[in-house]
Amino acid sequence: MTDNLKRMSLFKSFRSFCLRSGHFIKTFPAFLPLLPVFFVLHGFTANYSSVPFDDAAMLTLSYIAIALLIGGISWFFYRNVIKACILSFCTMAYHFFFGNIQDVLKNFSPLASFSQYRFLLPISALLFLAIMILLGKRSRGIQKLTAYLNILLLLLIAADTGWLITKAARYKHRGAGTNFPTLPVCDTCRKPDIYLLLFDQYAGHTALKNVFNFDNSAFENELSKRGFHVVKNSRSNYNLTPFSMASLLEMNYLDPEMGVKKHLNVGYSYRTIQNSRAMKFLAAHDYHFYNYSVFDFPGQSAHRYAMFFPYGTKLITSSTFISRITRDIRSGIAEGKLDFKAAQIKIAYEGLHFNNDIFQLTKNIAGTKTGKPKFVYAHFMMPHFPYYYDSKGHQVPVEKLLKSRTENAEDYIGYLQYCNTKILELADSILATSPEPPVIMLLSDHGFRHPGKNADRKYDFLNLNALYLPDKNYTHFSDNLTNVNHFRSLFNYCFNQRFPLLKDSTTDLWD
């Protein structure tokens, strides 16, 4: 009898719990905060290892706060919490999935024209108006819709949580540098200031000669006069900047699966750059890092964001309504489709201001005495497009800057010659003002990569590579050195390391 009473009591408790849960699911709008949780969780999982957890968490909280704010404003229209939350839900869902909707329409030929803003925005406005009117007039079915949205979001979050656990387990023992040797610290070594001067898309000697019929020997001879060693047959290992820089700083090839050009793998490259072996090695030797680059590093933000691809939380938000429309407005202004002359000029000269800032910052820090040795990473967007100057140092007209890269391809050599004068000027400044003779690594991330030239793809990898060492002993640096071995060779020379040089190879990311 007692067992029956216990079973009946448990049954009643379970039944009561189910009834309360069912009532809660039908009447509590949990779907509103759950939508941002799902959106960020899905993006975080899809871009696993590329988005910092703390940043994703802050993004989630921000979106929840915005959703609740919109819901609070909507309450004044309906005086009904559920209806207000449904309208807020629709608003947030539109923002989150706008880019996906636009892409689906664009890729479906019969509806492609509706992906244009002149159609999409008015249709969206009419749809929102219809939803607002419908919510104001109807109350039937609200509980069913609430239950449906709550259950749907919970299931989606559960599915993404399972996906995240699976990905985390798979990536646990994976990543560039997993089997990298231990990096011993050399306490007795001299610690010269080290400058990594990266000139984006600067082609190597052979590429300039064969593709452009341009002889760069005069510049290389000037470097030699200053004591630089020019690596004659240098190559980058990847022909896309984030991958190339990740390999250079990690001193290793990227994970075979992640060293392939995919949207998600770009984020992997950024994370590799931020946590690279070269950076850790220099930190262990008490170097102070100065970040004048386009990449984020722990504790030091990029000097300029979004130069190449979205990264960090931008990988999650890049297709949202605000991100998509901001990108397209900016693109329309830059290309002259939108007639805003002042904004157009501002956008056109952003790269020039960026380069000027980096030159000045690098010169300033070179002449500054610090208590610790310095590692300076300066990333110049030159001779990369836009080509702001000709070979004589005259600024090109803004109209020319706004044309496509193909139309401006021939100006590359003129800008490269201007770039040569700036490089020599910067090298002279560093050598003249440094408290102690420094190490200067003069590199490019890859060669000239332009489909309009119809050149052999091997030239994509032939890059600038010149090195200055205080004692001019360049026996560790062969004429066939590739970027992946650059820091290995430098650390072997400066810090008595014994890194084996890796077999040289290249990966074409534009196949």
d(CA 245, CA 295): 10
Write down the domain spans for the chain. 11-171, 194-309+340-495
Q: What pLDDT does 358 receive?
A: 95
- Give the pLDDT confidence of 49-69 residue by residue, as tens digits: 778 888 899 999 999 999 999
Contacts of 271 (CB under 8 A, 6+ apart): 49, 50
**Nearest alpha carbon to residue 493 among 465, 466, 509, 469:** 469
Above 60 in pLDDT, residue 5?
A: no
Angstrom distances, CA of residue 42 to CA of 46, 58, 98, 416: 6, 15, 16, 44
- Give the pLDDT confidence of 397-454 residue by residue, as tens digits: 877 776 655 556 678 999 999 999 999 999 999 999 999 999 999 999 998 876 555 5
What single-letter amino acid sits at 170? R
pTM of the prediction?
0.79
Mean pLDDT of the chain: 85
Above 80 in pLDDT, residue 241?
A: yes
Strand pairing partners for 389? 395
Helical H runs in 185-300? 205-212, 217-225, 241-250, 263-274, 277-284
Q: Is 374 helix (H, G, I), strand (E, B) or coil?
A: strand
Q: How many CA atoms lie within 13 A of 112 on its CB side?
A: 5
**Nearest alpha carbon to residue 169 among 49, 2, 328:** 49
What single-letter amino acid sits at 232? K
pLDDT band for position 200 (cuts 50, 70, 90): very high
Above 50 in pLDDT, residue 197?
A: yes
Fold entry, domain 194-309+340-495? Alkaline Phosphatase, subunit A (3.40.720)
Q: What pLDDT does 77 receive?
A: 87
Q: Is 291 helix (H, G, I), strand (E, B) or coil?
A: strand
Quick one: tokens of 246? 């990740």
